[in-house]
């Protein structure tokens, strides 16, 4: 029996995200809610969009889905074989687990990145068993789920009533290899599953369900899956918008407030571009981090610096600074700089929100020839034809750097308040392609095509200091230090390693 579902996912702890790139917070600017037509464990998916006719014809489109077990969402996988129908997207899912809830969203890979719909949920029915054949075993459509760097789960329905001895098993091998491995499964009619481990990262495998009976081997149709590349960060959390590569994972903390700023009057590919995201601390009255894409399109000078200092309308005003006054030996340090957002006046005004500003030492750090200014110039040189993704952050505990020098935080008078915390350390995370000109999303790149690293500077770093290899830190180490999970939307981001020579150091 067919059932049609079209309801938003409610009550589950998951944070989807604009895939790419420039999606607004609602998730409905460019997509309607996906519709699922369920027939047993086969599901027809469709999603209408608000893109113009023909926009999706030469675009990577599709659906991503994941099983929901015990109110927890598993790993997402993309549906193979999605098709464009006018301004809509359609696909068929087969071989799903019976009587299981799944969450699904539609996506489109635009030139600026991947955007996606809001999530929807459906529940499969009972096994859609193949019709029995008295003369031979019958198979459904094989499928792979839960694919990681080294693991995958295979499934396929099977129908055979003969009582004679026979064997049922999955066979699998790398697509480029000629030798199959085998995993035996129980005989009898039903859904067969097998968990594979020890797979090779970044490898495409082909597999099928087989039955040996009466001196012959019967097989299902062949299917494939591809493991993720080695060197990924092992991400387990979810950022609010899954297609924004720069986003850290939101941390549930009463001290943290988040704002996602969309450019009010600057569009890319027919939709409004995003500006930046901030995580703001109520206790420190200071940003904890600001994440943003960097690209030349944002820096085209169509306006001058606005100096439009003011409160962020998306963050409670009582926890922000109230004026542009300075103190504690500091000036106003932009996390995302004004020069990085000159494309329109309104876009530039957003970077003057107090939530994008932290107190920085004016004599040695945030000044001409200062350590921070020199690092900013280094980052500017990393901007390339492919989009560069950054996270700029602060640290509010005592910090000792790789040179053995220390700095501690302190309460100062700043921005019209007397309880602002002056950070002990600032960090700059960068993620981009190594070549800078792949014309691919970082989400679609192998680990060896990417470079990412953290640059950390104690706040009292000496004036004149320029970026050095000793300033660098593995992203995974900075995660351990700060408690934040970075680049969670880029599975192959090489967060556990870096090579200074990749950065010219």
What 3-state DSSP class applies to 44?
strand
Judged against a pLDDT cut of 90, whether residue 94 lies above it is answered with no
- The tens digit of pLDDT for each residue in 173-189 reads 988 777 899 999 998 88
Residue range 151-168: average pLDDT?
A: 81
pTM higher than 0.85: no
- Residue 441: pLDDT band (50, 70, 90) is confident
In this structure, are residues 449 and 434 in contact, taking their beta carbons and an 8 Å threshold?
yes
Supply 375's token pair: 């690092």
- The tens digit of pLDDT for each residue in 187-197 reads 888 888 888 88
- Residue 38: pLDDT band (50, 70, 90) is confident
Return the closest-CA partner of residue 152 out of 202, 188, 196.
196
Query: What pairing do the DSSP bridges indicate for beta strands 286-294 and 271-281?
Result: antiparallel
- The tens digit of pLDDT for each residue in 96-130 reads 888 888 999 888 877 666 788 888 888 887 665 55
Instruction: Return the pLDDT at 232.
Output: 40
Judged against a pLDDT cut of 60, whether residue 168 lies above it is answered with yes
What's the Cα-to-Cα distance from 180 to each of 150, 171, 207, rounded to whole Å? 17, 6, 9
Q: How far apart are CA 472 and CA 347, in angstroms?
A: 31
In this structure, are residues 279 and 296 in contact, taking their beta carbons and an 8 Å threshold?
no
Return the closest-CA partner of residue 59 out of 113, 21, 23.
113
Residue range 461-483: average pLDDT?
A: 96
Instruction: Return the pLDDT at 128.
Output: 54
Token pair 């300033």 is found at 471
Please report the domains of the chain, with CATH numbers, ordered by start residue. 2-123 (2.60.40.10), 138-226 (2.60.40.10), 256-503 (3.40.570.10)
**DSSP assignments along 324-373, one per residue:** S--BTTEEEEESS-GGG--S-HHHHHHTTBGGGEEEEETTTTSSTT-HHH
Q: Residue 19 carries which DSSP code?
A: B
In this structure, are residues 37 and 31 in contact, taking their beta carbons and an 8 Å threshold?
no
> Is 334 in the active site?
yes
- The tens digit of pLDDT for each residue in 218-258 reads 998 888 777 766 444 333 345 677 678 999 988 888 999 99
Q: How far apart are CA 351 and CA 332, in angstroms?
A: 12
Judged against a pLDDT cut of 50, whether residue 8 lies above it is answered with no
Query: Which one of 261, 271, 295, 334 is the catalytic residue?
Result: 334
> Is 366 within any annotated ligand binding site?
yes
- Residue 6: pLDDT band (50, 70, 90) is very low
The H-or-E segment that residue 345 falls in is: helix 345-350
Range name among 54-58, 370-374, 393-397 with the lowest pLDDT average: 54-58
In this structure, are residues 380 and 432 in contact, taking their beta carbons and an 8 Å threshold?
no
Residues sharing a CB contact under 8 Å with residue 219, sequence separation 6 or more, in sequence order:
139, 171, 208, 209, 210, 211
- Residue 12: pLDDT band (50, 70, 90) is very low
- Residue 3: pLDDT band (50, 70, 90) is very low
Judged against a pLDDT cut of 50, whether residue 2 lies above it is answered with no
Instruction: Return the pLDDT at 239.
Output: 67
Instruction: Return the pLDDT at 424.
Output: 98
Q: How far apart are CA 199 and CA 300, in angstroms?
A: 46
Supply 143's token pair: 């499928």
What are the φ/ψ torsions at residue 477 (nearest 5 degrees)?
A: -70, -40
What's the Cα-to-Cα distance from 12 to each of 70, 76, 131, 228, 485, rounded to whole Å? 10, 15, 36, 26, 20
**Which of the two residues, 124 and 82, has the higher pLDDT score?**
124
Q: Residue 79 carries which DSSP code?
A: P
Instruction: Return the pLDDT at 7.
Output: 44
Judged against a pLDDT cut of 80, whether residue 148 lies above it is answered with no
Q: How far apart are CA 452 and CA 127, in angstroms?
A: 45
- Residue 70: pLDDT band (50, 70, 90) is confident
Range name among 207-221, 338-352, 396-410, 491-505 with the lowest pLDDT average: 207-221
CB count within 10 Å of CB 172 equals 24
Judged against a pLDDT cut of 50, whether residue 326 lies above it is answered with yes
């Amino acid at each position: 029996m067919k059932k049609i579902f079209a309801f938003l996912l409610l009550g589950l702890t998951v944070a989807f995200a604009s895939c790419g790139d420039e999606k607004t917070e609602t998730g409905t600017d460019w997509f309607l809610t996906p519709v699922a037509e369920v027939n047993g464990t086969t599901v027809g998916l469709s999603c209408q969009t608000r893109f113009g006719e023909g926009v999706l014809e030469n675009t990577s489109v599709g659906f991503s889905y994941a099983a929901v077990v015990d109110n927890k969402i598993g790993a997402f996988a993309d549906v193979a074989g999605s098709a464009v129908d006018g301004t809509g997207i359609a696909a068929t899912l087969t071989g799903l687990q019976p009587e299981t809830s799944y969450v699904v969203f539609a996506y489109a890979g635009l030139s600026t990145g991947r955007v996606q719909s809001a999530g929807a949920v459906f529940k499969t029915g009972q096994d859609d068993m193949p019709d029995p054949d008295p003369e031979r075993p019958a198979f459904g459509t094989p499928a792979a789920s839960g694919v990681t760097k080294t693991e995958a789960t295979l499934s396929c329905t099977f129908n055979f009533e003969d009582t004679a001895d026979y064997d049922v098993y999955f066979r699998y091998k790398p697509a480029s290899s000629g030798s199959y491995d085998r995993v035996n499964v129980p005989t009898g009619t039903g859904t067969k599953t097998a968990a594979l481990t020890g797979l090779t990262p970044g490898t495409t495998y082909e597999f099928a369900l087989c039955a040996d009976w009466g001196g012959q081997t019967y097989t299902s149709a062949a299917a494939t899956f591809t493991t993720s590349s080695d060197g990924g960060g092992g991400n387990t959390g979810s950022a609010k918008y899954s297609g924004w590569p720069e986003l850290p994972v939101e941390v549930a903390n009463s001290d943290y407030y988040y704002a996602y700023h969309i450019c009010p009057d600057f569009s890319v590919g027919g939709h409004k571009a995003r500006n930046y995201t901030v995580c703001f601390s109520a206790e420190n009255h200071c940003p904890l981090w600001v994440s943003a894409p960097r690209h030349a399109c944002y820096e085209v000078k169509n306006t001058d610096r606005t100096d439009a200092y003011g409160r962020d309308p998306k963050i409670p005003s009582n926890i922000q600074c109230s004026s542009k006054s300075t103190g504690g030996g500091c000036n106003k340090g932009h996390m995302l700089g004004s020069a990085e957002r000159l494309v329109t006046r309104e876009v530039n005004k957003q970077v003057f929100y107090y939530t994008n500003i932290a107190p920085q030492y004016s004599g040695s750090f945030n000044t001409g020839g200062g350590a921070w200014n020199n690092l900013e110039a280094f980052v500017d040189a990393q901007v390339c034809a492919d989009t560069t993704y950054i996270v700029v952050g602060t640290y509010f505990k005592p910090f000792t750097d790789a040179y053995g020098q220390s700095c501690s935080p302190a309460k100062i008078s700043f921005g019209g308040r007397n309880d602002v915390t002056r950070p002990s350390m600032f960090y700059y995370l960068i993620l981009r392609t190594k070549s800078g000109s792949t014309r691919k999303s970082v989400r679609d790149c192998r680990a060896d095509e990417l470079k990412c690293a953290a640059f950390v500077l104690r706040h009292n770093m000496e004036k004149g200091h320029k970026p050095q290899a000793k300033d660098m830190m593995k992203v995974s180490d900075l995660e351990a230090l700060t408690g934040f999970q970075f680049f969670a939307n880029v599975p192959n981001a090489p967060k556990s390693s870096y090579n200074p020579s990749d950065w010219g150091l």
